[in-house]
Every structure is written in structure tokens, then in C-alpha cells.
Chain A
Amino acid sequence: MVCAWNSSWGNKGVSMKNSVEVKNISFSYGKTEILNDLSLDIKEGEFMVLLGPSGCGKTTLLNCIAGLLDLTEGQIWIEDDNVTWKEPKDRHIGMVFQSYALYPSMTVEKNLSFGLRMMGTAKKIIDDKIEKAANLLQINELLKRKPSQLSGGQRQRVAIGRALVRDAKVFLFDEPLSNLDAKLRAELRYEIKKLHRDLSNTMIYVTHDQIEAMTLADRISVMKDGLIQQLDTPKQIYNKPANLFVAGFIGSPSMNFLNAKFDKSNQNIIVGTKQIDISKYENINNMINDQKVVFGIRPENINIEKNENSIQCKVELVEPMGADTLVWTSIEGTPISIRLEGSSNYNLNDEINISFDINRSSIFDSKSEERI
């Protein structure tokens, strides 16, 4: 298991030492409880992504780690230091915000040096650090400008530079790319990943964008209603979602779900009048006869082929997306999407036979919504 993680991290300097430890924290706004008894360990040099829909408490958790919100209960440790009641400036962190949060009255240079000036760092050291950060982020040309004269992408580079200059041990990102257009987002995503490769600092990154989460993370923590639903590598989260929520949230187009009943004697599940053979499913022995389940299958794990297990249905909609083509059909009234190669050619009302790659499917108990 550990080996698998290491290979998927792929960067240097990931040790087994914890950089940030969140211990049983709770947080509430007045009577509304946002986080309840949440714990999370983040390893040194790890890129941790907190992913979830809005209102799931991921930004609150980040603000608690940064010290911008006071916990109701629990402890935060950063670099073997209990920082629970320490000021944000004493936590060795740098933070990048969605709204950039550049000081509008200062030039880029002054923005970058603000933290160091507040600490009373010598002018020479400040200049060196600014030059280094500016080179790394390619913002040398912009140093004399005011934030209002920069584009969104440039502003976010400066905001990242501000965290770089402070020699932060831990970088916190609060949806840094959400205000940018799609093209810039992809560009900066690439640069953030490169930055992490080169610096190997611990990074905690909050986003609701699953593509960002999948591409950047060493590990993703999927959150909902202030609880961590699953904490694992992107691969594991995509292929073996722990519950129905994670399965539905990760992946675009999202996973297909069919309500079904397990028939133990025939080793298959029954969807209305159709039967699907699941004898190859890894945890089939954990299922009991007549158990109500939800059968989940990703669009790319459905094949159009005729065999003894295939189900016949009709093409109802075709969405060409360039690299892929998405074909929509339905089984017993439930819409099913199938991801095919871009070159494949299907038309409305074509009769097709589909079969499922059971090895790659996920089956959930319909009551507990947990993976079986």
C-alpha cells in the first residue's frame, strides 16, 4: 500500500513525517456547527487537496489551519509545534486567496515585500528574495506596477510570490484559480504543480474543481457537511470511491448509477427486468441475498459489444466532445452515459448492445451508501 502511494506521488522529498496535524478540531459560527471532531494529518512535502461542494467546510478548515478563525475545540500542529492559539504570522505559512487579496495601494514589489518589512528584514535580503521569487514566477517586468494594472493571471502570480518570499513551510491555497478563465486556469494549474515539484513544500489546496484536485494532489480529502468522506490518492478515489457521494462527486461526466437487488444464487443483480452478472466483482462475498444495492459504473467502463451478458438498448443522444464522444442511452428508464472514442460514429435510435467492465465498477449498499 505504501509503495503504491510513493509511486503515485512521484516527487522528491515526501517523508513520513507529518508537517501539519489537525487534531479533533471543532468549529462553529454561533450555533451552526461547521466542523465537528475533524482530524487530518498532512505529510511533509505533500500536496493535499481539500475537495468538496460549497458549504462543506473546506475553506473553514483552511482558515482554521491558517489561524484566521479560532477553534472551538481541538489542536493544530504545524512542524511539531502546537500553534492552536498562535497568530497567523507565527505559523510559518503563506496563503493565496481566490480574490488575490493584493494590497491595492502598493506596487507589486511592495506587495511582495510587505511581510518581510513587517518582520524588519534587512533591505538587501528582501531584494534578493524578491528577485528570486520574481524570476521563478516570471513577474520581473511587473514589479513597479500597481495591482490594478495587472491581469487576473498576473495578479495570482504575484499573490503566489507573496507566499514564496516569506519562506513559508506550508502553503495554503484557497480556491486560487476559481476567478480565472478556463485557459489561464489550466496554465496556472500546471505552474503550481511545477512549483511544488521544484520546492517540495507542504501544500494544502482548497477547491471545488475536481480536475484541479485530480491533477495536483498527492492525496485528496473529499469533504461533505464538515466531514471527510474519503482521504486517499486521486487514483484510489476515482477507481474505488468509498461511498455514493464521492462516487457521484468525482468524475465528469459523472458515474452512472442503477438501483438494483442482489441475487446470490445466480451471482447477479437485477435491475427491473434486466440482469447483470457481477460474479467478477471483488467483494461479492460481502453481499447478502436480496440486498438492495446501487450499481455504479463510469462512462468509460461501458463497452458497446455483443456477448452473453450484454443489454440491448437504443441511442438517445450523442454528445461529440472532440477527443471523446458521449453516447446517452437508458436502462429501465435510468439515463446511462457511455464514453467512446472521438472517431466512433453512432446516430440517434441506433440499436446497441452494452456490457459492463465489472472489475472497474463500484457497488454500494443503498441504505448506508457505503461501498461494498
Chain B
Amino acid sequence: MNINSNNFQPNGPRPKHLTIGRIGIYCFIFMCALFFLMPLYVMIVTSLKDMDEIRSGNLLYIPKVLSFYAWPKAWSEACTGFVCEGLKPGLINSIKITVPSVIVSVSLGAINGYALAFWRFKGAYFFFGLCLFGAFIPYQVMVYPLLKIESAIGIYSSLPGIILVHTIFGMPILTLIFRNFYASLPIDLFKAARIDGGNFIKIFFYVIIPMSTPITIVAVILQVTGIWNDFLLGLVFAGRDNQPMTVQLNNIVQVDYGVAEYNVDMAATILTSLVPLFVYFISGRWFVRGIAAGAIKG
């Protein structure tokens, strides 16, 4: 038998990677992307047109003359009710609401999840079931009772008032995802830490938190986007001085008098949604990794 290295060749031609089916899939994905990008495209081109061009119809055309005046107007001059300061104060308010709300709710959610996963107290499963239930109650149901409670304790219509509301509504889902993440960690780690002399607080800070990065990022993304995009709670609980960007945006768009300036509306809307968009862009990789780490499943 002739053993020659030339004989060790695969049989037939190498299989092609680009098949008809694959081209079909790419086409479908491309169409989907177009479909979902269409509104964004319309918003951007409309914000760059002047009102004459908008009135002439032709929603999908690119602007004949680029005009940028809608953007500074949306930012600092557009009228939100009686004052005409644009979205600028709303941005500051949104930051003042979002940052403390996210920090408080994520911290509490982590502690709750940790307690539920490791320090199994009597009725822990019942409590966990309640959390699960709480995550699915539409929050509109609870707006009025909460309003009564907050005005009774004197924090209604204030910054602490709205932060408390966001913390309460974030609690079920945050507790849930933290508990599920911690339940997937080996229980032996926790046992070893107890033998090594950790108590409830020490184990949490020294052992659990250093392992919580992926799930914390997921929780922060959920909360930042959720709280930033919230309209109803901000409108009801924040009070006149602390109205978040979304409420200001609504006031700009829903004008009862004068002319509806669509280009300003579009610019204002894009400005409002920049923060959550930015959060998704920089953290998408972490978000997927966090979910894969056992976060939202189960």
C-alpha cells in the first residue's frame, strides 16, 4: 500500500458557507433592522427640517435645507406650560431622581436577594412568592394609596417622595433577580464564610458583593432605563419643582395653544431618550453576560 501524504485529501469540494438559506436569513434580519430603525430615521430627519418643509408632507425625505434651530430650542427655549426654559431643568431633575433611586433600590434589592438565598428564614418561600406576585401587579393600582400614605407622612410632592416610590416599585423585580443569581452560587462558599467568622453584614460585603458584578450591572441598567423613562410616577409624586424630563417633554409636545412645532418635538424626544440609549450601548455586552449568569431565567 502506498502511504503518501498527498493521498490524505478530503473527498470532494469544501462545503460552501453562503447558501440560499443563509442569504434568506440575512435578508430577513436586514428587513427587521430597517423596520425598527424607521421611526428613529423619521425623528432625526424631521428634527433637521424647518416647519415649511414639514408641512409639505413627505415624511421620509431627507431635509432639503439643513436647519438646526430646533435642537437648541428644545434644549433651552421651548415652553413647558407657563415657563419657557426647554428641557434643561428636566434633565437635572431626572438625574436627581434617577441616581439616588437606582443606588437605593439596587442596594436594597441585593440585600433582600442575599437574605432570601442564603439566610433561609421561616416563610422565606412564601415571601419569595409574594415578590414574584408583586412583580406582576400593574403599579397604577397602587398610585392612589401610596399618594395618601406619602401625604400622611409629609413627603408627597418632594424629591424623597419620588425616590421612595421608585425604590418600592423596583423592589420585587430586583429582589427576584438578585435572589436567583445568589441561589446559583455554590452554597458551600457561604458555609465556609460562616465558619471563617463572617456575620450577615461581613459575608455580604467581603464575599458576596465582589461576586455580584454581572448581576449588579443588569440591575442598574434595568433601573436606570425604567426610572428615566417613567412618566406617571414622576408626574404624580415628584411635585412641580422636581418634574423629570419625561414630564417636561410631554408638556412641550402637548401644546394647547400656538403651533405644534414637530421639529422641536422630535429633537426634544431624542434628547430625552439619549440617556437610556447610551446606557444600552455601553453596557450591552455586560447585560447579556449578566442574563447568561443566571439572572433573569428561572
A105 touches B210 (CB 8 A): yes
**B-contact bits for A91-107, CB 8 A (1 contact / 0 none):** 00111011111111110
Complex CA distance for A162 and B210, rounded to whole angstroms: 19
Q: State whether B195 touches A95 (Cβ < 8 A).
A: yes
Partner of A88, one of B195, B202, B210: B195
Q: How far apart sit A158 and B211, CA to CA, in the bound complex (Å)? A: 19
- Within 8 Å by CB of A115, from B188, B197, B199, B210, lies B197
CB of B96 within 8 Å of the partner chain: no
How would residues 105 to 124 of chain A score, 1 for a CB under 8 Å from any chain B CB and 0 otherwise? 11000000011001100000
Task: State A94–B186 Cα separation when bound (angstroms).
Answer: 18
Interface mask (B195-226 → A, CB under 8 Å = 1, otherwise 0)? 11111001000110011000000000000000
Instruction: Out of A93, A99, A105, name the residue touching B195 (CB < 8 Å).
Output: A93
B191 contacts partner chain A, Cβ-Cβ < 8 Å:
yes
- Residues from 141 to 158 in A contacting B, C-beta threshold 8 Å: none
Q: 0/1 per residue, B5-25, Cβ < 8 Å to A?
A: 000000000000000000000
B191 pairs with A101, CB closer than 8 A: yes
A89 interface hit (Cβ, 8 Å): yes
Q: Which residue of chain B is the closest to A172 with respect to CB atoms?
A: B195
Binding site secondary structure of chain B: helix
* Residues of chain B with a CB closer than 8 A to A94's CB: 195
Residues of A near B188 (CB, < 8 A) are 97-101, 174
Taking a contact as CB atoms closer than 8 A, the residue among B196, B198, B211 that contacts A104 in the complex is B211
Name the CB-closest residue of A to B212. Answer: A105
A68 at the interface (CB under 8 A from B): yes
Provide the residues of chain B in CB contact with A68, threshold 8 Å.
191, 194-195
Most buried by A among B186, B194, B195: B195
Q: Indicate whether A350 reaches chain B with its CB closer than 8 angstroms.
A: no
Residues of B near A95 (CB, < 8 A) are 191-192, 195
Asked if A115 and B191 sit within 8 Å, CB to CB, the answer is no
Contact for A118 among B189, B197, B211, CB less than 8 A:
B197
Q: Which A residues are in CB contact (< 8 Å) with B192?
A: 95, 97, 101-103, 162
Q: Which residues of B contact A93 (CB under 8 A)?
A: 195
A308 at the interface (CB under 8 A from B): no
A246 CA to B295 CA in the complex, in Å?
45
Name the interface size band of chain A: 20 to 34
Q: How many whole Å from A5's CB to the nearest CB in chain B?
A: 30
Mark each residue of chain A from 49 to 90: 1 if its CB lies under 8 Å from any CB of chain B, else 0. Answer: 000000000000001001110000000000000000001110
In this complex, what residue of B is CB-closest to A165?
B196
Q: Complex Cα distance A88/B190, Å?
A: 12
The distance in angstroms between the C-alpha atoms of A100 and B206, with both chains bound, is: 18
Q: Is the CB of B196 within 8 A of A166?
A: yes
Contact flags (1/0) for A256-272 with B, using CB distance below 8 Å? 00000000000000000
How far apart are A69's CB and chain B's nearest CB, in angstroms? Answer: 10
Minimum C-beta distance from A66 to chain B (A): 6
- Beyond A103-B189, A104-B211, A105-B210, whether A87 also contacts B196 by CB under 8 A is no
List of B residues within 8 angstroms of A66 by Cβ: 191, 195
Residue in contact with A162 in the complex, picked from B186, B191, B196, B206, CB distance below 8 Å: B196
Cβ of B195: which chain A residues have Cβ within 8 Å of it? 66, 68, 88-89, 93-95, 115
Top-7 shortest CB links A-B: A105-B210, A115-B196, A118-B197, A101-B188, A89-B197, A101-B192, A97-B188
**Would you mind naming 16 contact pairs between A and B with Cβ atoms under 8 Å apart?**
A68-B194, A89-B197, A95-B195, A98-B188, A100-B188, A101-B189, A101-B191, A101-B192, A105-B207, A105-B210, A105-B211, A114-B206, A115-B195, A115-B197, A162-B196, A166-B196
Name B's A-contacting residues (CB within 8 A). 186, 188-189, 191-199, 202, 206-207, 210-211
Q: With contacts A93-B195, A97-B188, A101-B191 known, what are 6 further pairs, Cβ within 8 A?
A: A68-B195, A87-B194, A89-B197, A95-B191, A99-B188, A114-B206
